[in-house]
């Protein structure tokens, strides 16, 4: 027992991995029907709550395992809780949809669970090999989930597109990692940091080359411009609850990994990576603002919205300070809640057995279902960043460090982009409240209503210091444990 306890920092990952294998056995040896699939889904939610409890009970100290390749600190714990929350809520959103579409296979929750393990490995990675294995475990499960509705052409297309472009980005990432290993002689972030600091950047050209390729690979994973091309098609094609999952948890993991790599492995090269982050941040914000205007499919709109939001979160990273990292973490948390809430509303857009994805079909929703229309409207206001909702504070937390770091152009462009972006969010509100009503949607199911309600309360309550304060403090502790 004593020997096992040294692995205590990795218990949450171990629990989920073992749980996934147990549930796989359970699923494989029981009858394949909706009921068993849902049962395994609920069990995996229970295991995720268990893992989150272990993480919450862990002491706040920084611990490393497996020769320093796996690090557990406040930063990784904060993100792991977000990832577990995002995955569990996405699973909760899936049940009704999957049952209706006849997709409630037991592999679905198991793949989500394994993707969750991969994401947790990503935010704990402290070594290039651990980084790659985490990314790959996560992505591979996501490719399969995107193509889950295999008899649907769009879903298969989404899976294939995601797979091919994901493989390309993994190739870039590996090429960068091999260059970094070649020029530093180690895969460990600590060793790489030592080499990066030992010589001025002008003598580390090879390392910078590797860094650029690594950033390209990671930018694919967070779908930042110019590596965003796959996002709209994959978001539109994948089954809606899977899209909700894509927009939530993997973004947390990939942004966390980006912060960890840049802060942990490349101190001394801030000048170099800040230029890159600066550029992809501006490009993502502007593309997210302009490209979403012409969209009529709400899932595509959310894809462009997520690209824009990643751009905003990167503003905090571009500042390159601890406050900036704190801003990114707060932004990610608020973005997670808003996105999951919005997707709960999108999943409630249903007439008979048909899922509605056209924005025009929302017309006059306020007269049919005022509560749903109000929730979606508030979430849209929050996504647009209108005070006093949470989305506004998220933007404050990333723009303020950027201003403090003297990045005025970035902050100004960010504000302009969010004003432009507000147009398409407000357009949805206008369609819901001021257009001629269409046919009614089916009543909202309990699972969706819970998620919507929680998101609605959160975006209003974040401005209250008693509620927002502890979250911001936790993000601050997390950012402090990161060496940015």
Least distance to another protein, CB of residue 305, Å:
28
Nearest in space to 116 (alpha carbons), one of 94, 96, 90: 90
Please pick, from the candidates 112, 117, 177, 253, the single residue that binds another protein as defined by CB under 8 A: 117
Task: Indicate whether 148 belongs to the interface with another protein (CB under 8 A).
Answer: yes
Peptide bond preceding 380: is omega within 30 degrees of 0, i.e. cis? no
Query: 440: which residues sit within 8 A by CB, 6+ positions away?
Result: 351, 368, 369
Task: Indicate whether 380 belongs to the interface with another protein (CB under 8 A).
Answer: no
204-233 mask for another protein (x: CB under 8 A)?
Answer: --x---------------------------
Is the Cβ of residue 105 or residue 260 nearer to another protein in the bound state?
A: 105
Residue 69 CA: distances (Å) to CA of 3, 76, 173, 208, 465 = 19, 13, 18, 22, 37
Least distance to another protein, CB of residue 422, Å:
40
Task: Indicate whether 167 belongs to the interface with another protein (CB under 8 A).
Answer: no
Task: Indicate whether 147 belongs to the interface with another protein (CB under 8 A).
Answer: yes
Instruction: Please give the Cα distance from 119 to 124 (Å, whole number).
Output: 9
Of the ranges 53-61, 139-147, 402-410, 446-454, which one interacts with another protein (CB under 8 A)? 139-147
Instruction: Please give the Cα distance from 8 to 25 (Å, whole number).
Output: 25
Peptide bond preceding 226: is omega within 30 degrees of 0, i.e. cis? yes
Is the Cβ of residue 101 or residue 427 nearer to another protein in the bound state?
A: 101
Least distance to another protein, CB of residue 250, Å:
14
Nearest in space to 49 (alpha carbons), one of 6, 104, 92: 92
Is the Cβ of residue 117 or residue 218 nearer to another protein in the bound state?
A: 117
Contact present, 389 and 379 (Cβ < 8 Å): no
Task: Indicate whether 363 belongs to the interface with another protein (CB under 8 A).
Answer: no
Of the ranges 117-125, 336-344, 360-368, 464-472, which one interacts with another protein (CB under 8 A)? 117-125
Binders of another protein in range 242-301 (CB under 8 A): none
Instruction: Please give the Cα distance from 369 to 350 (Å, whole number).
Output: 12
Helix (H) or strand (E) holding 64: strand 63-65
Instruction: Please give the Cα distance from 273 to 268 (Å, whole number).
Output: 10
Q: Per this entry, what is the length of the chain?
A: 484
Task: Indicate whether 323 belongs to the interface with another protein (CB under 8 A).
Answer: no
Task: Indicate whether 129 belongs to the interface with another protein (CB under 8 A).
Answer: yes
Least distance to another protein, CB of residue 107, Å:
5
Nearest in space to 263 (alpha carbons), one of 205, 317, 185: 317
- Cα angle 116, 282, 205; round to 5: 80
Q: Mapping DSSP to helix (H, G, I), strand (E, B) and coil, where does residue 31 land?
A: coil
Q: Mapping DSSP to helix (H, G, I), strand (E, B) and coil, where does residue 37 land?
A: helix
Of the ranges 64-72, 92-100, 258-266, 380-388, which one interacts with another protein (CB under 8 A)? 64-72
Of the ranges 50-58, 127-135, 268-276, 473-481, which one interacts with another protein (CB under 8 A)? 127-135
Please pick, from the candidates 12, 44, 69, 342, the single residue that binds another protein as defined by CB under 8 A: 69
Least distance to another protein, CB of residue 118, Å:
8
**End-to-end CA, the chain:** 37
Task: Indicate whether 43 belongs to the interface with another protein (CB under 8 A).
Answer: no
Least distance to another protein, CB of residue 133, Å:
4
Nearest in space to 319 (alpha carbons), one of 256, 393, 394, 404: 404
Please pick, from the candidates 51, 91, 140, 302, the single residue that binds another protein as defined by CB under 8 A: 140
Is the Cβ of residue 199 or residue 442 nearer to another protein in the bound state?
A: 199
Least distance to another protein, CB of residue 117, Å:
7
Task: Indicate whether 190 belongs to the interface with another protein (CB under 8 A).
Answer: no
Binders of another protein in range 73-112 (CB under 8 A): 105, 107, 110-111
- Cα angle 297, 233, 150; round to 5: 105
Q: Residue numbers of the site for another protein (CB under 8 A)?
A: 17, 21, 24, 32, 65-67, 69-70, 105, 107, 110-111, 114, 117-118, 121, 129-130, 133-134, 136-137, 140-141, 143-144, 147-148, 150, 159, 182-186, 195, 206
């Amino acid at each position: 027992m004593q020997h096992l306890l040294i692995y205590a920092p990795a218990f949450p990952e171990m629990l989920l991995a073992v749980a996934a294998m147990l549930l796989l056995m359970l699923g494989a040896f029981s009858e394949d029907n909706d009921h068993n699939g849902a049962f395994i889904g609920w069990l995996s939610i229970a295991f995720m709550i268990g893992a989150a409890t272990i993480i919450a009970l862990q002491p706040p100290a920084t611990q490393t395992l497996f020769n320093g390749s796996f690090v557990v600190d406040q930063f990784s714990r904060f993100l792991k809780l977000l990832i577990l929350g995002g995955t569990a809520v996405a699973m909760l959103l899936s049940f009704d949809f999957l049952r209706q579409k006849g997709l409630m296979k037991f592999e679905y929750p198991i793949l989500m669970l394994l993707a969750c393990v991969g994401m947790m490995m990503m935010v704990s990675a402290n070594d290039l090999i651990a980084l790659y294995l985490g990314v790959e475990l996560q992505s591979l499960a996501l490719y399969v989930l995107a193509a889950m509705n295999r008899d649907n052409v769009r879903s298969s297309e989404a899976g294939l597109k995601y797979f091919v472009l994901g493989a390309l980005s993994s190739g870039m990432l590996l090429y960068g990692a091999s260059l970094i290993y070649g020029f530093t002689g180690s895969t460990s972030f600590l060793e790489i940091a030592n080499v990066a600091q030992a010589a001025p950047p002008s003598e580390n050209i090879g390392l910078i080359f590797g860094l650029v390729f690594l950033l390209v690979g990671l930018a694919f994973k967070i779908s930042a411009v110019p590596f965003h091309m796959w996002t709209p098609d994959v978001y539109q094609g994948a089954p809606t609850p899977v899209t909700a999952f894509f927009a939530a948890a993997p973004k947390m993991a990939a942004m966390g990994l980006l912060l960890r790599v840049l802060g942990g492995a490349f101190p001394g090269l801030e000048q170099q990576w800040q230029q890159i982050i600066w550029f992809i941040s501006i490009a993502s914000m502007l593309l997210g603002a302009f490209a979403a205007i012409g969209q009529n499919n709400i899932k595509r709109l959310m894809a462009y919205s997520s690209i824009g939001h990643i751009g905003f979160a990167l503003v905090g990273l571009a500042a390159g300070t601890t406050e900036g990292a704190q801003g990114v973490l707060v932004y990610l948390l608020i973005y997670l809640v808003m996105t999951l809430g919005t997707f709960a509303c999108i999943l409630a857009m249903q007439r008979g057995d048909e899922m509605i994805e056209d924005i025009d079909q929302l017309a006059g929703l306020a007269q049919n279902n005022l509560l749903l229309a109000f929730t979606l409207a508030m979430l849209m206001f929050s996504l647009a960043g209108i005070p006093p909702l949470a989305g506004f504070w998220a933007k404050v937390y990333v723009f303020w460090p950027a201003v403090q770091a003297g990045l005025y152009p970035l902050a100004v462009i960010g504000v302009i982009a969010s004003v432009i972006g507000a147009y398409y969010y407000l357009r949805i509100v206008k369609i819901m409240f001021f257009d001629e009503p269409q046919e009614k949607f089916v009543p909202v199911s309990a699972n969706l209503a819970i998620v919507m309600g929680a998101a609605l309360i959160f975006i209003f309550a974040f401005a209250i210091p008693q509620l927002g304060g502890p979250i911001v403090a936790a993000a601050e502790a997390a950012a402090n444990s990161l060496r940015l």
